[in-house]
Amino acid sequence: MPRIPVTRVRLWSAAAVALVIAATAGTLIVASGRGAHSARTSGDGLRHTAVEVSRSHCGRGWTDPAPGTQVFDFHNPTDGAAEVYLEDPETGAVYGEVEGIGPGTTRHLTVRVGKGAYAFKCVPDDADAVTGPTVRVRSGRRGPAAVPVTQHDLIPPSIAYQKWVGSGLGTLAKQTARLRDDIDRGDLGAARADWLTAHLQYERLGAAYDAFGEADAAINGTDAGLAGGVHDKHFTGFHRVEYGLWHGESARDLRAPAAALLTSVTTLRGDWSQTRMDPAQLGLRAHEIVENTIQFELTGRTDYGSGSNLATARANLDGSREVLDRLHPILTTRYPELADLERELDRARSLVGGFRHNGRWTPLDGLSRAQRERTDAVFGDLAERLASVATLCDPRRTA
């Protein structure tokens, strides 16, 4: 699938916040917003507390702690941007966070406060973090919190995933060579079957696309933005071969595109041992894979004749599962909804797998309206849940 250039999903992104809210139903951080907001004129019915975000007076303003869901109005009186966390000063677990509080601006955090100790950590740009005074709430049920993930925490799962990708690229190279050989000998029936096998193998490696760099466009790019469309000389890779196989091109015409695809795959496999994935991106990729599936596969935008978008969607889900399996040790102590997420992922895989009959995949236009609606709903829910994983696995600055 084409890769969406998505930035890290953090709580200061309005879209990400909406996803986290829907996915967790209050599991980690309830909300953050933008703009000035006066406690006296608020119509939300919640208690508002003005809190200063600065190195000299971090957390000043919270002098009358009370339990319950409430809003902290963070004001930054300094001349530089800052972020702020509400955390447990003993464990470092974070109840809520807001980034990008610009000079002279106010932003808000809604969180449930209960019995326990709290402190605000102010993290100015280009300056050391400062922790404000500890505030104790004497009663009530606290909202959930999670200990921040560090870059160090993410290195072992990232290395494990990178090794798995390396093995997958070896398999991909063999499958792509088989596809090239089918075309070279003129067996286009075998080529269609082997094209799907190889393409699905590539799609399962989705969390590594960013590290693949320009090789991804050469291997799995589309004709989007090309002046000549599907006939443009720069249209290459799996989809170029797909177009030819399902639009009546001869084996002779397909030999060069198939050979170029194999060369790109072989080069990527050879270069992979020298490539380093960014550990900080691993949690985001699990979410991004499903987002891309919704945008490209479930809309048919990447169908060049094979009608295999649902097969690709299933392969994408397999790719997300591979990421989650390696992040499991990190998530199991931080994400209470992990078991539910894994069940929903299995549900989605089962649903899509049910569209394969007698070895053939149902094309998108072969689904009934009810099937389409159910598929869209399942993937939408899964994307929302995976947004929480992206948020939890985004390393935070703590010093």
Tell me the fold of 151-392.
A middle domain of Talin 1 (1.20.1420)
Task: List the domain boundaries for the chain.
Answer: 29-137, 151-392
pLDDT of 2 reads 56
Task: Identify the pLDDT of residue 13.
Answer: 29
Q: 29-137 has which CATH code?
A: 2.60.40
Gap between the Cα atoms of 204 and 159, Å rounded: 17
Look up tokens 């050469």; give the residue.
218
How does pLDDT run across 117-164, given as a tens digit for each residue? Answer: 999 999 999 889 999 999 999 999 998 888 989 899 999 999 999 999
Torsion of CA 361, 366, 372, 374, to 10 degrees: -60
pLDDT recorded at residue 15 = 30
C-alpha to C-alpha distance for 344 and 394, rounded to whole angstroms: 22
Please check whether the two domains, 29-137 and 151-392, share a CATH topology. no
- The answer to which of 21-35, 187-201, 338-352, 374-388 has the lowest mean pLDDT is 21-35
Mean pLDDT of 157-182: 97
Share of the chain above pLDDT 90, in %: 79
Q: Given a cut of 70, is residue 7 above it in pLDDT?
A: no
CB 222 within 8 A of CB 274: no
Nearest to 276 by CA among 210, 196, 177, 368: 210
Q: Which residues contact 258 (CB under 8 A, 6 or more apart)?
A: 179, 180, 183, 184, 191, 241
Mean pLDDT of 28-33: 36
pLDDT of residue 39 exceeding 60, the answer is: no
Q: Residue 32: pLDDT above 70?
A: no
* 65-79 tens-digit pLDDT: 999 999 999 999 999
| Average pLDDT over the chain, rounded to an integer | 88
pTM of the model: 0.81
pLDDT at 17 over 50: no
386 has a pLDDT exceeding 70: yes
CA 1 – CA 195 distance, rounded (Å) = 15
